[in-house]
Structure 1
Amino acid sequence: MALQVPTADRPSEVISINILTHNCWGLKFISKYRKERLSEIGNRLAAYTPQLDIVGLQECWTYDDYLSIRESTRSILPYGKFYHSGIFGGGLAILSRWPIRESSMHRYSLNGRPQAFFRGDWFVGKGVACAKIQLPDGVNVEVFNTHLHAPYEKEPNDSYICHRTAQAWEIARLMRAASDRGSLVVGLGDFNMVPLSFAHVLVESRAGIQDVWRIVKPASSIGASIDPPETERRKRMNEEKTPNVDTSLQEHGHTCDSVLNTWRWDKAEQKQLAKGHDREVLATDADPKAKRLDYIFFNGIGKGWKVADVKVALTERHPTLRCSLSDHFAVHATVERSSTRTTIPARVEAHAALNDTDSRHASLEVADFSDRDFDKAISAQQTQGRVGQDFYKDILRMVETYKLRERRQRRNGLLHFVGTAFTSIGCFVAVWWSPRNYVAFILILLSTFGIMSGTLSGLIGGLFVGTELRALAEFEWEVRNALYLAGGPSLDDRSFQMKDWYD
């Protein structure tokens, strides 16, 4: 629980805030033991030490699960908001010790494709859950809780990387605006990115916030130990090739794909666990696939606040089912008012200045440190404060590649519609001369299903892709403007015409 120090000027000054973020994995009809696990998550949040002040939940899809958690935590987190969005909801909720003065749900303009129904990102309406919380001493805290688009392939070949980058840009813009209003900014969520990846650098540099884990442990991992960039980092830092479970949690903050998490075991091991045959995982066991995808960002460092503690939380199992509470672990951070105003170390500022002229290390996968002083790039670099022109040029190249793909998809969809329309007409004409009833039935069936699929392709190509291209145009303009402000070429509306997006 946040400590309070009575003073004449501020009778209830808050000197610390305990923050937690957790992806609950609460998919209705899909997530196993959903109700039991989320109910237990509520119990653990209520009994958590130290008492929590602000909690951000992701993948809490059903209102009943939210109410269950609220009922368990009401005594310590009396205020809460469940955010509604999309066809099946946004899966986001914010709990608070203090009153929520304002709230809003900002839906991402780019969020998957409707034809990828088996992934569901487009249907759930992902976005940013925003809440303004006023502390007893009058300080405004603006909380931004999100769950970015999942990477279904390895970057940079991930076909959704443009969507995730645009989402990172949008939440960074929201957090920057809150910071400009003078609020304390807390960014929470499952960002589906690894530290120092392209999206990670974008969020920090554009929002003016810092990853609290890297503030405390700047030499922590930049991905799973089996990934080449992380393998190179360990080699240059003279670390063991693969971290064990204890190191993975304590030093690197890995919240996903840990060998400690029962939902990451193979199917045979999960079946054995369901039958009561547990598997012992030791703190010394290797943890090669674990990585950090869940984050807490904060803008108060150097402004009278400091990070007192940060750790991975809720790693324990369900007391009776013996499964992990979720397929992700939680992240907990304590931020405190500092007695003296802190500043970012000079060596970090020097490295940030270096980024103004060369930010190519923020590649479309993870940072590439092969051509620079590794100790300076990792150990000294707590956060990425600024980026240069090359960073924005990388985004523009990504947008251009994706734009060409979507224009091709749009043409194919419209051609499919036209082709099936003519085919359907041809089938109906052929029915007149059909020699047998079963032939006529086949022709009608072919015509019906053909025109149905063609209409769907036409609607997606003509309506959805058009909407997506316009959202991309807005995103591209913002990036070009940022490039101009960073010293790049000036904006020219004559060279940026919407007709170029459809030709």
Structure 2
Amino acid sequence: MEDLPEEINLVTLNCWGLKYISKLRRERLSEIGRQLAIADPKPHIVALQECWTQEDYKSIRRQTRFILPYAKFYHSAALGGGLAILSRWPIEESTMYRYPLNGRPTAFWRGDWYVGKGVACATIRYGPAAKQVIEVFNTHTHAPYEGGKPNDSYLCHRTAQSWEIAKLLRGAAERGHLVIAMGDFNMIPMSLEHQLVTALAPVRDTWRVIHPDSSVGPADHPAEMARRRPVPTAEFNIQENGAASDGPYNTWRWTKAQQKLLGPGKPPVPIAPDTPDRRGKRLDYIFAGSGDIHALGGGWVVKRVRVGMMMRHPEFGCSLSDHFAIESTLAFHPLRETQPSPPPPPLAAKSASDATASNRDSSPTAATATVLPSDEPRPPTPAEPKTESALHNGAYLQLQSPTPSSDHDPDNPATGPIPAASQIRSFLNPSPDALPPTAYDEILSLIRSYTAREQAQLRWRAAHFFLAVLVTVACLVGVWFSPHNYVSFVLVLVSSLGLTAGTVDGLLALLFFRSELKALKEFEWEVRNAKGALVRGGAAGWDGRAVGEDGEEEWGED
């Protein structure tokens, strides 16, 4: 196998490749493949969404086969999930995991249920060691058709999908693999769905590692308005906020009159960098873990992120997709074992406070303790290279090379990106209560609200079926006594159409709505179980008792 990589370049892009719907689909996706092939730095792993057809996938494969020789196109449901993963290294295993909650067949014009949205999983080996493995998860969650409003009936779907992918990420991390999740998550930063991913799985939002003070939504979103920031410019939204969707740089968000200025032989239409951008937001994400720090002798940290694929089609002048790409680079941060400190001088030569410190430092535990460098570098001495202070964690470790100095203040994220040492430290010392009990209450409230809606839908559609049967019987009786043929024809037509519609609703009530309600019960159980474990201080296992708003337990259905 080739030399181990020191960096891993990641790209995620929603290609907007809907067959018969997306404009200039073939031309745009072909150009996406060409741009990936000539990209600098060269991508190592690429996650594509809305790449619906084999034709477009093969076009991209032909152009990227020399730098990304391994790839997988994922199949799902009737119309396909539109997901693909391209890799520099071999794909050892792959799985297509479909979300239990994902749209409704009655909303056929939206199509989420018919494409079987889920998570495309790939196990990629980049080195010979047992833990030199990357588990990649590529997803495209349910679209927020109702704008993410409080009464958004699809919010429960996206919340459940974030919960599901967080479980997959957590399982991969527990296997000691480097975990990477990419895709169009259709959520804004720091939303409940976002918090579920980052709190329930040991991964970081790579954009917020480098830009911890970036926006939490478009300028007119209540959460962003509460920050009292000025309306960002188009350039600021790209450079600092990672707004790869709905911004003025993307030609597919222009008015029809503006789009008519584009086309073969027409001059390019520039956008001023200081154009106010109220709608731009970040829906596309790259989440990353660190890998098994002890087994690898170090960890993977976020080195840089940026919005990519902003170029326009060379002939048609349009953007290559209705999303821009998110690109991130992970760098391996090695650790090394250091020698124990020399014995301290005699206590008589020290002050009382120094003696106490010496006793602590010369204890058997301190001589072999594991430490991870902190972000506070201590001054170098002539006999020792510059090192960083650390936290105890099992075997004495410190950075192979010093971390560049940073003015980052954890209590003030606006001061800059999170240094490498802090990134590694966060994985070795995760916060056990990252998701508060109130978040679980919010999820349970969503589940109850959506369950009530679906139960009402089930009852209404079942009633429609029985009503259609009664109407059909009545029409057939009417045919028997009808004196004229045209009356009989009308009655038969009405009964046939009514029974057909009623049968469809009856099947939906019997099959879809019942299965969805069972999936909601499973989701509710998991949330209650997780909240119960949190309230009880980590004791897992829910025995059928629901934890109420006040923390008291009440009996519920298992």
TM-score (norm 1): 0.86
Q: Which has the larger radius of gyration?
A: 2
C-alpha contact 2:263 2:315 (8 A) present in aligned 1 = no
The CA distance in 2 between the partners of 1:26 and 1:184, in whole Å, is 30
C-alpha contact 1:243 1:286 (8 A) present in aligned 2 = yes
1:171 aligned residue: 165
Unaligned 5+ segments in structure 2 are 337-371, 377-409, 419-425, 546-554
C-alpha contact 1:428 1:444 (8 A) present in aligned 2 = yes
The CA distance in 2 between the partners of 1:345 and 1:486, in whole Å, is 30
The CA distance in 2 between the partners of 1:14 and 1:278, in whole Å, is 39
Shift of 1:270: 2.0
Amino acid at match of 1:246: E
C-alpha contact 1:21 1:189 (8 A) present in aligned 2 = yes
Give me the identity figure in percent: 49
The CA distance in 2 between the partners of 1:11 and 1:453, in whole Å, is 61
Shift of 1:400: 0.9
1:152 to 145, 149, 152: 145
Amino acid at match of 1:316: M
1:497 aligns with 2:545: no
1:12 aligns with 2:3: yes
How do 1:360-375 and structure 2 match up within 5 A?
Answer: none
1:297 aligned residue: 287
The CA distance in 2 between the partners of 1:331 and 1:183, in whole Å, is 22
The CA distance in 2 between the partners of 1:281 and 1:484, in whole Å, is 52
Question: Of the two structures, which has the highest relative contact order with CA contacts closer than 8 Å and spacing of 6 or more?
Answer: 1
Amino acid at match of 2:254: W
The CA distance in 1 between the partners of 2:64 and 2:9, in whole Å, is 15
1:432 aligns with 2:432: no
C-alpha contact 1:14 1:137 (8 A) present in aligned 2 = no
SS of alignment partner, residue 216 of structure 2: coil
1:202 to 191, 196, 201: 196
SS of alignment partner, residue 273 of structure 1: coil
Shift of 1:340: 4.7
SS of alignment partner, residue 312 of structure 1: strand
The CA distance in 2 between the partners of 1:253 and 1:311, in whole Å, is 7
The CA distance in 2 between the partners of 1:173 and 1:343, in whole Å, is 30
How do 1:267-278 and structure 2 match up within 5 A?
Answer: 267-274=256-263, 276=266
1:55 aligned residue: 46
Amino acid at match of 2:136: V
The CA distance in 2 between the partners of 1:483 and 1:428, in whole Å, is 56
Amino acid at match of 1:311: R
1:397 aligns with 2:445: yes
Shift of 1:287: 1.2
1:107 aligned residue: 98
Shift of 1:438: 2.1
2:305 aligned residue: 310
SS of alignment partner, residue 283 of structure 1: coil
2:464 aligned residue: 416
Spell out structure 1 runs of 4+ moving beyond 6 A: 341-346, 380-384
SS of alignment partner, residue 14 of structure 1: coil
RMSD: 2.3
How do 1:109-128 and structure 2 match up within 5 A?
Answer: 109-128=100-119
The CA distance in 2 between the partners of 1:190 and 1:389, in whole Å, is 27
2:527 aligned residue: 479
The CA distance in 2 between the partners of 1:394 and 1:323, in whole Å, is 41
C-alpha contact 2:210 2:302 (8 A) present in aligned 1 = yes
The CA distance in 2 between the partners of 1:420 and 1:162, in whole Å, is 32
Shift of 1:13: 2.4
C-alpha contact 1:223 1:230 (8 A) present in aligned 2 = yes
1:135 aligned residue: 126
Amino acid at match of 2:9: N
2:34 aligned residue: 43
1:334 aligns with 2:329: yes
Shift of 1:259: 0.7
1:83 aligns with 2:43: no
Shift of 1:78: 0.3
Shift of 1:379: 4.0
Amino acid at match of 1:250: Q
The CA distance in 2 between the partners of 1:142 and 1:343, in whole Å, is 27
The CA distance in 1 between the partners of 2:192 and 2:544, in whole Å, is 28
1:281 aligned residue: 271
Amino acid at match of 1:286: P
Q: 1:488 to 1:264 in 2, by over 3 A?
A: farther
Amino acid at match of 1:263: W
Shift of 1:135: 0.6
Would you say how many aligned residue pairs link Structure 1 and Structure 2?
456
The CA distance in 1 between the partners of 2:332 and 2:289, in whole Å, is 13
The CA distance in 2 between the partners of 1:439 and 1:269, in whole Å, is 56
TM-score (norm 2): 0.78
1:324 aligns with 2:314: no
Amino acid at match of 1:281: I
C-alpha contact 1:13 1:137 (8 A) present in aligned 2 = no
C-alpha contact 2:127 2:133 (8 A) present in aligned 1 = no
Amino acid at match of 1:283: P
Q: 1:480 to 1:345 in 2, by over 3 A?
A: farther
The CA distance in 2 between the partners of 1:253 and 1:445, in whole Å, is 57
1:446 to 480, 490, 494: 494
1:68 aligns with 2:59: yes
1:259 aligns with 2:248: yes
Shift of 1:345: 6.8
